[in-house]
C-alpha cells in the first residue's frame, strides 16, 4: 500500500478562527522532572497537537491552536499535571460552523 | 458587583441553556444568560442532527425561519472493515412530510438563531463572559456567579448550569465529579464543502433531502467509537469519535483516525475534491444512566451534557439537552409561581418531571450498554466487523465453491475467532443490556 502523508494538524487548524489571548494561556503544565503517563498520553491524544516533548524531556503545551475540547483536562487535571481553565470571555477558538 | 438581580442565571448558550432561558423568559422570569463565546454557538460543536419534536415544543413554528440544512429521508448504518462496508440503509418517502422529523444543522448558525429567540422572549444574553465560580451564602446555597468581567459578580435566585460536558463550574464547586476518561468520548470533525449538486448526486438526494451515515468497525482500531457522515446543503460533516480512555490506552491520534476514515474506499469518493473549512473537536458524555450526577441542590440545577444526558445507543444528545432545559425551567417556573424558595425539597420537582420523560426512561433502558461496549470493544469494534465482512464477501463472491462449503467456512471463521461460548456470551450480554 502506498504510504500517504496524513494532513498535518497545523494545516487543519489553519482553517479555524482564533482570538489568541497573548500571554495568558488557559492551560498550564505543572513543572515536572519526568512527565507522568497521563501527560505523555497527551502528545497523541490532543486533537490539536498542543502538547509536545521538549528537548530536555519535558511535556510542554502551546495553547494557541487549542480547540477547547477538554480532553487534557479529563486526562491530566486529576493528577495535578495541568491547570485547566476556559479562555477569558471572547478569546480562544471561534467556530463558524461548529 | 453588578447590582441588578435576576430571577435566574443560565450558564451557557447551547441547546440546554437556550431551552431553559427561553422557557423561563417566556414564563415571565427575569433571566440572565451568560456565554463565553463571541456569540451563542461560537464555542459549540455537534455533528449535527436536530430532532424536530423537541424543538417544536419550544418554538412551534421553528421551520419558518430556523437555519435548517436538510431533512433526513435516509439513514445508513455501516459496519466497516478496512476495505469494505456492510450497510443497512433505511430510506422512506414518508420522511418527505410537511413537518419533517429530523434535520441536519450547522450548530454555530442554528445556535445564533436559537439565541435570538431567547432574546426576543426577553432574556438578557451576555456573551464574551466566562463564568469563573459560583457564589454561595453562609448556608452553602448558590446565590449567583462570578464572571471574568470587572465587578463581575451577579446574583440570582437560581443558577442553571448548562455549561456542557466539560463544565468546570459544577466540578470546581464539588456539585458533581469531573467526567472520567472511560465515560466521555472525544470526537473530531471536519466540514467538507462541495457544490450542492455534487452532494445531491453523490448521496442520491433531491432538493433538501438529506442522508445520515453512521459507521462502526475497524475504523476505530478496536476502540469503542463511531464515525459519521452527514449531508448538509453545501457541505458534509464528517467525523469520528472514540472513548478518551481508549485514546489514552492505544496511543492512536484523533486526527490520524479521522484521516484514515476519510481515505477509506467507501468514504473517499463522497468527499473527493472538497474544501475543508473547519476542524473541530468535542467531548461527548458516554457514561449513560449510571453517570448522571445529582441534578439539583441549594439554588442550582444542572441540565444537558453537563448532566451527562446523552443517549449513545441512539446517538441522541441535543434533544435530551433541550428537553432537560425545558423541564428544569418548567419546574422552576412552578416553584416560583408558588412563591417558594429554590431549595432541594422544591427543586426535586425537576428530577421527578425528568424521570417521567423519555430522557431518563431511555437512559435507564440502556444503563448497562456503556460498560458492555467498553469492556468488549475489541469484539464489537474489530473482530465482528471483520467477520461480517468476510461472511458477506463469501456470500456474494461466486467462484465454484459449493454453497454448503461456503456456509461451513463462514461459520468456522466465527467460531475460530470467538468460539461458540464466546459468541453466545457476547450475544447474551448484548441482549440483556439492550432490554
Q: Which of residues 27-46 of B touch A (CB under 8 A)?
A: 36-38, 41-46
Chain A touched by B236 (CB under 8 Å): no
User: What's the gap between Cα A16 and its chain centre?
Assistant: 15
pLDDT at A7: 67
Q: Which of residues 181-210 of B touch A (CB under 8 A)?
A: 181, 184, 186, 188, 190-191
Q: Which of A13, A79, A95 to mutate to test the interface with B (most CBs of B within 10 A)?
A: A95
Those residues of chain B that have pLDDT short of 50 are none
**Is the pLDDT confidence value at A2 over 50?**
no
Average confidence (pLDDT) over A25-40: 96
* Least Cα separation, residue A25 to chain B (angstroms): 15
- pLDDT tens string B123-165: 999 999 999 999 999 999 999 999 999 888 999 999 999 999 9
Strand residues in B22-152 grouped as ranges (E): 31-34, 49-51, 71-80, 85-91, 102-104, 124-126, 131-136, 142-147
Burial (Cβ within 10 Å: 0-12, 13-18, ≥19) of residue B114 = buried
Long-range pairs of B273-276 with CB within 8 A, sequence gap ≥ 24: B273/B194, B273/B198, B274/B192, B274/B193, B274/B194, B274/B235, B274/B236, B275/B192, B275/B193, B275/B194, B276/A12, B276/A15, B276/B190, B276/B191, B276/B192, B276/B193
pLDDT-derived band at A22 (thresholds 50, 70, 90) equals: very high
Nearest Cα to Cα of residue A92 among B127, B243, B164:
B127
Q: Which residues have C-beta within 8 Å of that of residue B403, sequence separation ≥ 6?
A: none
**Is the pLDDT confidence value at A3 over 70?**
no
pLDDT at B425: 87
Cβ distance A95 to B247 less than 8 Å, yes or no, reads: no
pLDDT at B427: 86
Q: How far apart are the first and last CA of chain B?
A: 52
Chain A touched by B15 (CB under 8 Å): no
This prediction has a pTM of 0.95
> Which residues from chain A sit within 8 angstroms of residue B37, using beta carbons?
90, 94
Residue B184's CB is within 10 A of a number of other CB atoms, namely 29
Cβ distance B46 to A7 less than 8 Å, yes or no, reads: no
> Which residues from chain A sit within 8 angstroms of residue B45, using beta carbons?
95, 98
| Beta carbons of B30 and B6 less than 8 angstroms apart | yes
ipTM here:
0.94
Burial B231-268 (b: 16+ CB within 10 A, else e): bbeebbbbbbbbbbbbbbebebbbbbbbbbbbebebbe
- pLDDT tens string A60-91: 999 999 999 999 999 999 999 999 999 999 99
**Is the pLDDT confidence value at A18 over 90?**
yes
Considering CB atoms only, which of B128, B247, B280 is closest to A89?
A: B128
Amino acid at each position: 500500500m502506498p504510504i500517504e502523508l496524513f494532513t498535518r494538524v497545523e494545516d487543519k487548524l489553519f482553517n479555524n478562527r482564533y482570538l489568541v489571548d497573548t500571554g495568558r494561556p488557559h492551560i498550564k503544565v505543572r513543572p515536572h522532572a519526568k512527565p507522568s503517563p497521563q501527560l505523555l498520553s497527551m502528545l497523541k491524544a490532543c486533537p490539536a497537537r498542543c502538547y509536545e516533548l521538549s528537548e530536555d524531556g519535558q511535556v510542554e503545551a502551546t495553547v494557541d491552536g487549542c480547540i477547547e475540547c477538554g480532553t487534557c483536562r479529563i486526562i491530566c487535571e486529576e493528577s495535578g499535571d495541568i491547570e485547566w481553565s476556559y479562555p477569558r470571555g471572547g478569546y480562544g477558538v471561534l467556530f463558524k460552523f461548529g | 458587583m453588578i447590582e441588578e438581580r435576576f430571577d435566574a442565571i443560565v450558564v451557557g448558550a447551547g441547546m440546554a441553556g437556550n431551552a431553559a432561558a427561553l422557557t423561563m423568559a417566556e414564563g415571565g422570569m427575569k433571566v440572565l444568560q451568560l456565554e463565553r463565546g463571541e456569540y451563542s454557538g461560537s464555542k459549540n460543536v455537534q455533528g449535527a442532527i436536530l430532532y424536530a419534536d423537541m424543538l417544536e415544543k419550544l418554538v412551534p413554528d421553528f421551520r419558518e425561519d430556523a437555519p435548517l440544512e436538510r431533512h433526513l429521508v435516509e439513514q445508513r448504518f455501516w459496519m466497516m472493515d478496512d476495505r469494505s462496508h456492510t450497510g443497512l440503509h433505511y430510506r422512506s418517502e414518508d420522511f418527505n412530510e410537511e413537518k419533517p422529523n429530523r434535520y441536519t444543522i450547522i450548530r454555530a448558525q442554528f445556535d445564533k438563531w436559537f439565541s435570538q429567540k431567547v432574546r426576543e422572549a426577553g432574556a438578557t444574553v451576555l456573551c464574551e463572559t466566562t463564568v469563573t465560580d459560583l457564589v454561595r451564602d453562609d448556608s452553602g446555597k448558590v446565590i449567583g456567579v462570578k464572571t471574568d468581567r470587572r465587578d463581575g459578580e451577579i446574583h440570582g435566585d437560581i443558577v442553571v448550569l448548562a455549561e456542557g460536558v466539560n463544565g468546570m463550574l459544577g466540578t470546581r464547586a464539588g456539585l458533581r465529579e469531573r467526567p472520567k476518561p472511560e465515560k466521555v468520548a472525544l470526537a473530531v470533525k471536519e466540514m467538507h464543502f462541495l457544490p450542492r449538486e455534487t452532494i445531491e448526486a453523490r448521496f442520491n438526494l433531491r432538493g433538501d433531502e438529506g442522508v445520515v451515515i453512521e459507521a462502526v468497525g475497524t475504523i476505530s482500531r478496536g476502540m469503542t467509537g463511531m464515525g459519521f457522515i452527514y449531508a448538509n446543503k453545501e457541505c458534509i460533516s464528517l467525523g469520528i469519535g472514540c472513548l478518551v480512555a481508549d485514546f489514552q490506552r492505544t496511543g492512536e491520534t484523533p486526527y490520524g483516525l479521522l484521516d484514515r476514515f476519510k481515505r477509506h474506499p467507501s468514504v473517499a469518493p463522497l468527499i473527493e475534491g472538497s474544501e475543508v473549512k473547519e476542524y473541530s473537536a468535542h467531548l461527548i458524555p458516554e457514561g449513560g444512566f449510571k453517570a448522571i450526577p445529582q441534578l439539583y441542590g441549594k439554588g442550582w440545577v444542572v441540565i444537558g451534557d453537563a448532566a451527562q444526558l446523552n443517549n449513545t445507543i441512539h446517538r441522541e444528545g441535543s434533544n435530551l439537552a433541550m428537553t432537560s432545559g425545558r423541564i428544569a425551567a418548567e419546574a422552576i417556573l412552578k416553584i416560583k409561581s408558588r412563591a417558594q424558595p429554590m431549595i432541594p425539597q422544591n427543586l426535586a420537582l425537576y428530577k421527578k418531571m425528568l424521570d417521567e420523560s423519555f430522557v431518563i426512561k431511555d437512559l435507564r433502558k440502556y444503563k448497562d450498554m456503556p460498560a458492555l461496549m467498553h469492556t468488549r470493544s475489541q469484539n464489537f469494534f474489530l473482530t465482528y466487523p471483520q467477520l461480517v465482512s468476510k461472511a458477506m464477501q463469501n456470500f456474494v463472491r461466486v467462484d465454484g465453491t459449493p454453497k454448503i462449503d461456503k456456509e461451513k467456512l463462514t461459520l468456522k471463521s466465527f467460531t475460530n475467532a470467538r468460539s461458540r461460548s464466546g459468541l453466545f456470551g457476547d450475544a447474551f450480554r448484548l441482549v440483556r443490556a439492550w432490554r
